[in-house]
Structures are given as structure tokens and as C-alpha cells.
Amino acid sequence: MNRTALIVFLCCSCIHSFCIAGAEKNQRSTQQVSFSRDIQPLLAKHCLICHGPNKAEGGLRLDVPEKSTAKLDSGERAIIPGHPERSELLRRVSTADESEQMPPDDTSLTKSEVKLLRQWIQDGAPYEKHWSYRPVNAPVPPEVKQESWIRNPIDRFVLAGLEKMQLTPSPEAARPTLIKRLYYDLIGLPPSPDEVDAFLNNSRPDAYERLVDHLLKSEHFGERWGRHWLDQARYADSDGYEKDNPRPEAWRYRDWVIEAINNDMPFDQFTIEQLAGDLLPEATTTQKLATAFHRQTLTNSEGGTDPEEFRVEATFDRAETTAAVWMGLTMTCARCHSHKYDQISHREYFQFYSFFNNSSEAKLSIPQSETAMEQYHQAKQTYESNLEQLQVRFSVKLAELQTVLKDQDIINRSIQKKTENGSQQADRAGSGSLKQTAAPENVIQALLVNAAKRSGKQKTIIQDYLISLDPEAAALSKELIELKKSRPQPPLVDIQVMAKEDRETRILNRGDFLQPGEPVQSDVLAVILQSHPLPQRSREKPADRLDLARWLVDPNHPLTPRVKVNHVWDHLFGRGLVSTVNDFGVRGEIPTHPLLLDWLAWSFSHDMRGSRKQLIKQIVLSATYRQSSRVRPEIAVIDPENKLLSRQNRFRVEAEIIRDLCLAVSGLLSEKVGGPSVFPPLPSGVTELSYNNNFKWRTSQGESRYRRGMYTFFKRTSPYPTLMSFDCPDSNTTRLKRENSNTPIQALVTLNNAVFLEAAQAMAKRVLNEKQGTDAERLAYALRLSLTRQSEKEEVTHFLQLLNTAREYYQAHPQDADQLVKQHPVPTVDGAELAAWITTLRMVLNLDEFLVRS
């Protein structure tokens, strides 16, 4: 860029202002100040901490319209609508007199902020609801000039914004980039060369759509998008805190998530089952299992803790996580005091908290596995039929004995024998005849009772006596006892879920569980309640979690569908339409494309009926999504963050996916879906850092070493280091957006970590086995495996040089070669040759293009 052009750019950029929101609403031709866009954030930033719901210094509250115009303690009025010059507020923010200036600290308002305030008061100081609390409407997609670019309505909103700026969208990405992008985004795995070829050679106009459909049907889709959800659910395999005991059955909830997403469970059902599955009429085991969403909270079993303290702590987390995940609201501040800028009072916090306070962690018995359950049912059937047969044989025998040994006979005989021997002992001597036996006293006593009136115990005494007289009966009885001992037990395991438990909720002063205040009943936030009431199933009882869940996913809820589609957008573009995906409150960013956001939210909750797959399909089919991600320097100057969406974005894939990609191209990856967590290789000394060394990492063997990253056992106080190095959340609190950092520690992982080295070893084996030909051809194949596209000659040349140097080195240093190749030897290839390939392909696995969704 020459210097003049640069200056022109700068000047233009500085003096003009634009907003994409405006681009969409081009009917708004005159300068207008918007309360929610311009004024509310300004008040929140500078004024409301002292002149808001918590304090009303000088009698002034600026969060409520009636109070902002009322007479103050001083007798002045802060705002006189239509008269900025008479409004005390304006005078105090613009005065040069330090003793009067507001705000009193050194964060005084900028000139443009003062100007905004003046204009707003001039316009009558209209208050309006924050944009995200207003109902979602179905906007009409705007008209555009470049009709030919439009693939679906999404593109109209985006293109209108670009055209407003006299910009054009980027061209569609090359087909290999498109297929790689779709594979990374939808299933988190690279396409195989065959899959790439099939797509490249498919000239059908709907080839792309068919590819999308194919990927949406893949089981790996549930893994990829399930992991996004597990971030929000703060899923982990251990309790957290000092003891951090394992939760060996936690993965069952993870499986539930994967399956629900693979089945495209509508988002309302997905929500209701996780928040209140236990409260559904005739709730199934699976629906109860879903409530483990809120049992992902931490458990502190450190010695000397007060269980109530940590129950309350977990309940805070449940309330706050729910608000964050579904409504994009941060309630944490209101735990201790009324929110200083978002309209959430301390009381409302505890009303919301009450939904979760009326529940407790509970045990749920579920089948260990379907196979085990089937085996059990089979074994049970066999057992029962054996039992029945034996019981019949035994009954017959018993009946037989009873006919031989009449009650009265036994009594008579016994009395006779007793008299003869002067002894009570049964006489089995010379047992030629059963009738010779004398029965013990307790048997006789039992026999003396009328048969119809005998107690169970008496019957048993008599029966046992009869059996003792007959070896065959005794054998049968023994057999029966043995058989009963082998009765198959149902293969059930206990998992922790949530269940209803009535509990009075009191406001906790300063959020301290030792300072309970006045009681409250469950309710939702007033600011949303006004336009979107909470339907209750029962008028007598306060609303419960099921009412709450239904309220959240009602299509008319202003926040849930907006927040939800924004999450999905964020995953597919690396940036949400609202960039603060975790904050839709007044301090959050305003949407870059508010109408598009609403159009998507409306479609998602109405036309698509909450189908995650349909929403994703709609987005990835758009021309907007398909754009090239090449940075356009001329646009980057005015839109460095690509808010206008004049291209796709490039971003490094997540922690788990980095490993998955390497395992996949090396051919090591296990594609098994679901099941218990696994323990891939870990450098020694890592778990020793957890308390008391109470945790041993038993490295998995066989296939389990190569499962996808999302199945790695997650211990909260000693998480898998590779995951953490790449910004995997710590799972102690909900995470709606991952950081995407770039550190030397990450480079060390992919260069040197044993797991990644092994991937290079296996990849060398794969390339040498699968591809015959020259070195260059083989290298091109390796690059194709990892980059999807055909490599360029110069790229191959670079690697060829490395390969040759390495080859030379290993021929001279066979011991080094041995060390490298021993884990994955290739019998047909010489050690030095293989080592050279490993050393070279290791770098292929480190290419930026491989690790980045472009």
C-alpha cells in the first residue's frame, strides 16, 4: 500500500462511522440515537453503579424513566425531555468544574458521548427495552443488487450489508477447501482422498448439498457438536476440589448428548429433558439420565467442609449456567447484590435460584449396557425355567413324602420312641423304615397345630424335617438352594442425576449461605416476563423446573433462540453475529447483523422446529459460508474483525480435534463412538501434581489409545495437558466460547509429544504402504492426506529436501533410526528409510493449513 492510499484510508475510516445494523435498515435515513444501542451502554458504563438499582445517590436513578426525570434531592431534574440545556445530567457531564463533574472519577465522558446524550434528551429521552429482550420477529430478507450471488436468505442480509459499503463478497472457496471445511466443521475429521475425489468429480449441481446431508447423518456429527454442548454443560469425569474423586459413570451423560444430537432431538425437547427430564409425566430412565446436565457441578468432599455450603455453591452454578447457556445472561453479580447494569435484582436472582434449590442430586440405576442387559434377560429366562422345573420336582417329592409320612403317624411314632428310649433324640439308627424315626420336639409342636393354622415358620420346620428323612429330597432341596444363589442380578449401575426435593428458598444476604433472609418463590426475570409470561402447570404451587424449561424454549422467548443460533453461527464462522456469545445483556456487543440474527432465530424456533441439523444445513448451504477465507487487505483495513462477513474466517481447530486430525490422517484413529472415558498416553509426572497423588493414570491399551480426544478422561485438578495447552475449558464452570490462543507450548506439543510422534510414525507407515512411486509422489500423497488439496510443486520440493537430508542422516546413524521406527515398524522398509519419512511427515502434521479450519 502506498503512503497516500494509506492516509486516505485512515482519514476516511476515522471520520466516517458505519454500522452494519444500519446497512440492513437503509430506510433509516436520518440520524437517530437509539437508546439500547447508544445510551444504555453509556449509562451502564458511567452512571448506573451509583445512580442505578443499588444506590440512588442524590435521589437519582437513571435506569428507570420515571425516576430519571423526577425531582432530585437538590431540587434539580436530571433529565427534562426535549430540553438538554435545562437538564442537570447534561450540565454535570459536560462541566469543566471538577467539583461538579460527573462521573467523579477520571473516566469522564467523551465529546461524542456527551453529544449522544444531548441528542437523546432532545429527542425526548425515550427509554426502550434492550434489543435482546424484545420479541423476535420474522424480518423480510432485504433486496440486493447482486441477485446472482444469493443462495439462500442468509445471503441477502449479508450482501445488503456489503453493498451498503460498496463492497463485494469473496469468491466461493475452492472445492477442496469446501470439503475440508465441511468435514472439520460438521464431524471434526479430515476427508479421505477417496471422499475428496468423489466430491471433486461429482458434477451434479447438488453435490455440495448431498455432501452436507451425508455428514449430518454421520455418527461423528454427534461427537463434534456434542463436544460443543459438553463445554456448556461443564462436563468432566471427576468431582473437582481437593479430593477430586473420579466419576466413573459420568460418560453415560456424554453418550446421551451424542445420541440426542445424532438423532437431531429438537432443541425444546433437548432442553426440557436436561433441565427437567425427571419431572416429565412417566419419565423414562433416559429422560432422567438427561438431568445429569446439572449434576456436572463440582462436589467438595474435602475434610471438614460444610455440605450445605457446597450444595448452595452448586445450586448457584446451576442457576447461573442455565441463564448463561439459554439466555446469554450473566447472573453471577446478582448473587450478592442487584445487578449494576443488567436488570436483574438480588431478589430475582434467588427467585430463579429457587427452581434449582428445589432439587437434589439423586441416584439413578441404569443398565450397565444393552448387551449386558440382553445377556441378563437371557440368563434370567434360563434360570427361571430351571427353577420352575426343580421346584416341580421338589414339590412332587414333598407331596410324596407327605403321603407316606402322615402327621399323626409321626407324632404317634415319636411319642412311642420317646417312651422307649427316654430320649428326645431322633432315631435314625437302622433307618430301614422312615416310620421308625422320632421327630424333635419343635417338629412335634408344629405338627400338633392344625394344618390350616400353621405359621410359615412351622411349615418350614415340618418341611425341613421331612426332607431330612429322605436323601433324595435332601439332594433336591440342596440343589434348589444352590440354584437360587445363582440367580442372575440385573446389570445396573448407579449414576448421579437431579431429582425433585422441596426446600424453602431464602434470599441469601451477600450470597452467603449463613445469612438467609426473607423467603422467595420461584420466578423468572421480570424484564423478560413482561412480554413473555411464565406458564405454570399448577396454580397452587410455585413454578418448577419443568415450567421453567418450557418457558425457555417457547418459540416466543426473546433470548433462547437468538442465543442458540448465535452459538451455532459462532462455531461455523469463528465469531458470533453477537461476538459476545456469552453476553446478550446491555454490556454485550450488539449484533453485527441484527435482522439476520432474528431471521435465523425465528426460523429455528418456528419453521425448523428446533432442528439443529436443519439450522446448520441452512447456514452451510449459504454463499456466505462458502466464501473463501483469504484475507482481503483492502477490506481488512476498515473491517479487521470481518464483521461484515466479506469472507469466511480462518481459525485453529479445538484441542481435541487437533489430535483427532493427526490420528485420522495417520490411520490410527479409532472411530468407535461413545462409551467410557479412556486414558491415552501421558508424560509421567503429570498426575503427581494432584492432591496426595491420589490418582493413577492407567494408560489405555489397544484401540482405546486412539479414541477421539473427547473421550479422554477429564480429571478436573489434573486435566490432560495437551487439551489444556490448546484452550480446552477447565470444565469447572460453563464455557460458551473457547479461547483460540497460539503459544510456543502448543508448538512443542505437536512437534514433540509422544502421541503426535506416534501419529507421524503411523503416517509414514501408511504413506509407504498405500502409495507406490517416487518420493515426490509419495510426499504429494501425504500432503493430500493432510491438506485435502493437491500440493504444489514447490511445497513438495521443500519436503523432498528434508527427506533427503534425513535419509542421509539415518543411513549414517542406524541407532537413531531404530529408536524412531520401533513403535510402528514396516517390515518391507529399511529402518533408515522409514525414519527419514517419519522425520519428514512429522512436519506435515504441523502445517498451519492442516491445523486450521480455513
Partner 1 sequence: MQRCGPYHLVNVFTNKRIKVAPMKYRSPISTEQITESTRRSFLTTSASGIGAIAVGDLLYRDGLLQSAQSASGERQQSDLINPLTPRQPHFSAHSKACIFIFMAGAPSQIDLFDPKPVLNERHGQPLPESMLKNIRFAFIKKENALLQGSPYQFRRHGECGMELSELLPHLGGVADDLLLVRSLHTEQFNHHPGQLMMQCGRSTFGLPSMGSWLTYGLGSESQNLPGYVVLTSGRGSSGGATLWQSGYLSSSYSGVPFRNQGEPVLNLMTPGGIPDKLQRQGLDVLRAINQRQYDQVHDPDIAARIASYELAFRMQTAAPELINLTGETKATQEAYGLNRPEPEGIGGRGKQNNTYQSFARNCLLARRMVERGVRFINIIYASWDHHSNIPEELPYNTGCVDQPIAALIKDLKQRGLLDSTMVVWGSEFGRTPLGENRSGNRSVGTGRDHHPHAFSMLMAGGGLQRGKTYGATDEIGWNIIEKPVHVNDLHATILNQFGLDHLKLTYRFQGRDFRLTDVGGHVIPEWIS
- Number of residues interacting with partner 1: please give it, by CB under 8 A: 141
Check binding of 688 to partner 1 (CB under 8 A): yes
Min separation Cβ 579 and partner 1, Å? 9
Give the residue with the Cβ less far from partner 1, 187 or 329. 329
Choosing from 16, 363, 485, 539, the residue that interacts with partner 1 (CB under 8 A) is: 16
505-508 and 516-520 as β-strands: parallel, antiparallel, unpaired? antiparallel
The nearer residue to partner 1, 498 or 590, going by C-beta atoms, is: 590
Q: Which lies closer to partner 1 via its Cβ, residue 332 or residue 458?
A: 332
What part of residues 315-334 is at the interface with partner 1 (CB under 8 A)? 324, 330, 332-333
User: Closer CB to partner 1, residue 20 or residue 444?
Assistant: 20
Give the CA count within 13 Å in the CB-facing half-sphere of 779.
24
Taking the least distance from each CB to partner 1, the nearer of 400 and 730 is 730
Least distance between partner 1 and beta carbon 23 (Å): 8
* Residue 627, strand partner residues: 172
Which stretch, 266-274, 411-419, 451-459, 638-646, contacts partner 1 (CB under 8 A)? 638-646
How many C-beta neighbours within 10 Å does residue 364 have?
21
Residue 174 DSSP symbol: P
Backbone angles phi, psi at 277, to 5 degrees: -55, -35
Query: To the nearest whole angstrom, how small is the minimum distance from the Cβ of residue 648 to partner 1?
Result: 11
Integer angstrom CA distances of residue 281 from 277, 289, 547: 9, 15, 13
State the Cα–Cα distance between residues 672 and 664, nearest whole angstrom.
Answer: 13
Min CB(778)–partner 1 separation in Å: 16
Interactions with partner 1, residue window 277-316 (CB under 8 A) = 298, 300, 302-306
Stretch that binds partner 1, among 2-10, 276-284, 376-384, 478-486 (CB under 8 A): 2-10
**Residues 760-819, interacting with partner 1 (CB under 8 A):** 792, 794-795, 798-799, 801-802, 805-806, 809, 813, 816-819
Q: Which of 114, 398, 724, 829 binds partner 1 (CB under 8 A)?
A: 724
Q: How far apart are CA 645 and CA 627, in angstroms?
A: 9
3 HSE (CA, 13 A, CB side): 0
The closest of 270, 268, 179 to 228, measured between CA atoms, is 270
Find the Cα–Cα–Cα–Cα dihedral 369, 371, 373, 376, rounded to 10°: -140
Nearer to partner 1, 216 or 233 (CB): 233
Residue 831 CB, shortest distance to partner 1, in Å, is 10
Q: How far is the CB of 187 from partner 1 (least distance, A)?
A: 23
Closest CB to partner 1 among residues 44, 520: 44
For residue 685, state whether it binds partner 1 (rule: CB under 8 A). yes
Nearer to partner 1, 359 or 746 (CB): 746
- Measured CA to CA, the distance from residue 553 to residue 317 in angstroms comes to 20
What is the footprint of partner 1 within residues 566-585 (CB under 8 A)? Answer: 580, 582-583, 585
* x/- map, 62-101, partner 1, by CB under 8 A: ----------------------------------------
Question: Does 244 contact partner 1 by CB under 8 A?
Answer: yes
Select 551 or 850, whichever has its Cβ closest to partner 1: 850
Q: Which residue of 641, 703, 770, 777 would you call a contact of partner 1, by CB under 8 A?
A: 641
Identify which of residues 461 and 760 has a Cβ nearer to partner 1 in the complex: 760
Q: What is the 3-state secondary structure (H, E, C) of 69-121?
A: CCECCCCCECCCCCCHHHCHHHHHHHCCCCCCCCCCCCCCCCHHHHHHHHHHH
Smallest distance from partner 1 to CB 378, Å: 45
Residues in contact with 812: Cβ distance below 8 Å, sequence separation at least 6, in sequence order: none
Applying CB under 8 A, among 132, 458, 536, 725 the residue interacting with partner 1 is 725
What's the maximum distance between 2 C-alpha atoms anywhere in the chain? 134
The per-residue b/e assignment along 153-181, b for 16 or more CB within 10 angstroms, e otherwise, is bbbbbbbbbbbbeebebbebbebbbbbbb
- Chain positions 338 to 397 lying near partner 1, rule: CB under 8 A, are 341-342
For residue 322, the surrounding DSSP H or E stretch is: helix 307-327
Cα 618 to Cα 501: distance, rounded to the nearest angstrom: 42
Q: How far, in Å, CA of 280 to CA of 274, rounded?
A: 11
Of the pair 420, 641, the CB lying nearest partner 1 is at 641
**Interacting residue with partner 1 among 169, 222, 240, 680 (CB under 8 A):** 240
- To partner 1, the closest distance from the beta carbon of 20 in angstroms equals 7
Q: Which is nearer to partner 1, 414 or 592 (CB)?
A: 592
What is the rounded distance in angstroms from the CA atom of residue 628 to the CA atom of residue 642? Answer: 13
- Residues 166-225 touching partner 1, rule: CB under 8 A, are 166
Residue 686 is a binding residue for partner 1 (CB under 8 A): yes
| Cell representation of residue 545 | 423446573
In the complex, least distance from residue 639 CB atom to partner 1, rounded to whole angstroms: 7
Q: Contacts with partner 1 in 733-762 (CB under 8 A)?
A: 733, 735, 739, 741-749, 751-754, 757
> Could you give the count of Cα atoms lying within 13 Å of 539 in the half-sphere of its Cβ?
0
Smaller CB distance to partner 1: residue 75 or 744? Answer: 744
From 8-16, 55-63, 258-266, 594-602, span contacting partner 1 (CB under 8 A)? 8-16
Cell digits of residue 187: 464431524
**The C-alpha cell of 490 is what?**
440385573
Minimum CB separation from partner 1 for residue 732, in Å?
3
Which of 12, 392, 404, 529 contacts partner 1 by CB under 8 A? 12
200 to 178, 196, 463, 783, 796: CA distances (angstroms): 10, 6, 82, 17, 22
Closer by beta carbon to partner 1, 666 or else 746: 746
C-beta neighbour count of 420 within 10 angstroms: 10
CB of 458 or CB of 718, closer to partner 1: 718
User: For residues 159 and 153, what is the distance between their CA atoms, to the nearest angstrom?
Assistant: 10
Q: What's the closest the beta carbon of residue 826 comes to partner 1, in angstroms?
A: 16
Binding to partner 1 (CB under 8 A) within 475-534 occurs at none
Shortest distance, CB of residue 694 to partner 1, whole angstroms? 8
**3-state DSSP call for residue 362?**
strand
Q: How many CA atoms lie within 13 A of 82 on its CB side?
A: 0
Q: Of 234, 256, 296, nearest to 498 (Cα)?
A: 296
Q: Which is nearer to partner 1, 455 or 801 (CB)?
A: 801
Q: Which is nearer to partner 1, 551 or 584 (by Cβ)?
A: 584
The Cα-based distances of 726 to 109, 449, 747 in angstroms read 39, 81, 10
